[in-house]
Amino acid sequence: MAPFPLETTLAIGLGANLSSLHGPPESTLRWILPCLIDLLVEWGDADARDVRCSSFLKTQPLGGPPGQDEYCNAVLLIPRVQRPMSEVAALELLEHMQRLEQSCGRDRQREQRWGPRTLDLDILFWGDLRMEHPRLLLPHPRLHLRTFVLEPLLEAMQGSAPPRSPDQPGPEALGRGC
């Protein structure tokens, strides 16, 4: 396996603990993955064959209101984003990802901070881009504190196969725990 090019890698965290229009959290993540990959490949001028995704990981909620259901989490990596890094480009990607969240029923205006959600997409890091914007901090400021991000991130960095939609043959490891 070739060395992992961290200087051009984009890492996205995915999570859900409420059912969406697409079913329970795991179904939502399975449905959104091909949409997210298409978005990232087009937006980042990247090669879809380079996409790496962790398996799904079932985790307890961290913070937020008590009594939440478990989360289904994963991390998606695009190792060679060709698009030049900039604050404008990162905010554009954030807008696209928030539209994907909305397509799964997320309403940021009505939700409780760290509360349950139908879909949560986070930019974890993009190469060595550092950003302090009211809408986006990069790298993600709590990345190093969250096992539910670090475990799938390390798994994806080790080179798991790209995810497949449910109607396509794909790696059986996807879905572990959720």
Residue range 34-47, pLDDT digits in tens: 999 999 999 999 99
| Three-class secondary structure of residue 126 per DSSP | strand
Q: Are 133 and 81 in contact (CB under 8 A)?
A: no
- What b/e readout covers 97-125, taking b as 16+ CB neighbours within 10 angstroms? beebbebbebeeeeeeeeebbbbbbbbbb
Domain residue spans of the chain:
6-157
Catalytic residues: 106, 117, 120, 122
Token couple for 111: 């939700």
Q: What is the pTM of this model?
A: 0.86
Please give the pLDDT value at position 2. Answer: 57
| pLDDT over 70, % of the chain | 87
Q: What is the dihedral of CA 156, 135, 39, 22, to 10 degrees?
A: 80
Pick 6-157's CATH classification: 2.60.40.60, 3.30.70.560, 3.30.310.80, 3.90.1300.10: 3.30.70.560
Q: What is the distance between the alpha carbons of residues 178 and 152, in angstroms, rounded to a whole number?
A: 13
**pLDDT tens digits, residue range 107-163?**
877 877 777 899 999 999 999 999 999 999 999 988 877 888 889 999 998 875 445
